[in-house]
Structure 1
Amino acid sequence: MPKQTDVHFPADHPTAAGHFPGNPIIPGAVLLDSALTAIAAAEGSPPGPCRLRAAKFLHPVRPGESMLVEWQATPTGAIAFTGSVDGRPVMTATIMTGSVTS
Structure 2
Amino acid sequence: MAELRCVPVAVPRDHPAFDGHFPGRPLLPGVVLLAQVVEVLRADPEAAAWLGEAPRLSAVKFLAPVLPGADLAVCWTPPGAGSRLRFEVRRHGPGDDAAGVLAATGQFDAGPAAR
Q: For each residue in 1:28-75, what CA deviation from the matched residue of structure 2 results, as whole angstroms up to 9, or x when unmatched?
A: 111011111012113375873111110000000012211011001344
Aligned partner of 1:40: which letter? R
Q: Spell out structure 1 runs of 4+ moving beyond 2 A.
A: 42-48, 73-77
Question: Does residue 88 of structure 2 align to residue 82 of structure 1?
Answer: yes
Report what 2:104 is aligned to. Answer: 91
Secondary structure of the structure 2 residue equivalent to 1:39: helix
Number of aligned pairs? 99
CA distance in 1, matches of 2:44, 2:89: 15
Separation in 2, partners of 1:43, 1:21 = 39
Which residue number corresponds to residue 51 of structure 1? 56
Deviations 1:76-100 (A, max 9, x none): 422110000131100001002425x
Give the structure-1-normalised TM-score.
Answer: 0.85
Q: Distance in 2 between matches of 1:19 and 1:97?
A: 32
Structure (1 or 2) with the greater helix fraction: 2
- Note the aligned Cα RMSD (angstroms): 2.0
Amino acid across the alignment from 1:28: G
* TM-score, normalization by structure 2: 0.76
User: Alignment identity in percent?
Assistant: 33
Letter in 1 for 2:37: A
Larger Rg: 2
2:39 is paired with a residue of what secondary structure?
A: helix
Gaps of 5+ in 1: none
Aligned to 1:67: 72
d(CA) in 1 for partners of 2:44 and 2:59? Answer: 22
